Amino acid sequence: MGYLQNVRVYLSGPVENSDNPVTWRQEIAIRLSNMGMIIYDPMYKPKWVPQVGVIEGRLMKEEYIQGKSIENINHAIRKYCLNLVRHCDLIILRLDNTFTVGTFEEIALAKDKPIFLISKEIPSMWLVDQIKLYGDRKDLYYCPTMDDCVDKLTKIDNSTIGLDLYEWLFLNLKGDLNVSHNFQA
């Protein structure tokens, strides 16, 4: 295995209004797991986290809006997902034209982590600025397709060329990069 073994990846993207929040996550999770990466998929939660039913790809909002437990369920799920973002090393963000809110909160929280955007087109100049998709960063982090994203991650897994070592510091902390420091008290 390469540099990205045991790197924790959060799969961010629309859930609540998406017609297909699960399939793309399953497909990329298999491919990244084969590289030794640890996948944080918000669609799969431990039994102690409240579950939300999915019918035809859309969340059953009415079921929860009518009950008083909506705040507790939503709060627990949001808290769980945001903690996954806090503990991941990098983000894979898939966007299309689906309305989303939580995804952007995740991105704001992860602003200093590597964020790979999978999208046929860059959806917003605000997002470009938020995840700093300029110059070389755009070449590395913008991926029109899932295959392009996996290809870039495979190249990173095999070599560290082109990485900002401050942004990818977690690799050095794992001892995967040949960068050493003498820390003295």
Q: 94, 119 in Cβ contact below 8 A?
A: yes
User: What pLDDT, on a 0 to 100 scale, did the predictor assign at position 176?
Assistant: 62
The domain 8-173 is placed in CATH, from the list 3.30.70, 3.40.50, 1.10.3470, 3.30.2450, at 3.40.50
The domain segmentation of the chain, as residue ranges, is 8-173
User: What pLDDT, on a 0 to 100 scale, did the predictor assign at position 66?
Assistant: 56
Q: Give the integer Cα–Cα distance in Å for 101 and 104.
A: 6
Q: Which residue blocks in the chain are alpha helix, DSSP H? A: 23-33, 61-65, 70-87, 102-109, 125-130, 135-141, 146-158, 169-173
User: What pLDDT, on a 0 to 100 scale, did the predictor assign at position 185?
Assistant: 42
- Mean pLDDT rounded to a whole number for the chain: 79
Q: pLDDT (tens digit, 9 = 90+) per residue, 51-76?
A: 665 443 445 555 555 555 555 677 78
User: What pLDDT, on a 0 to 100 scale, did the predictor assign at position 97?
Assistant: 73
- Is residue 132 predicted with pLDDT exceeding 90? no
Tokens 């209004």 map to which residue? 17
Q: What is the pTM of this model?
A: 0.82
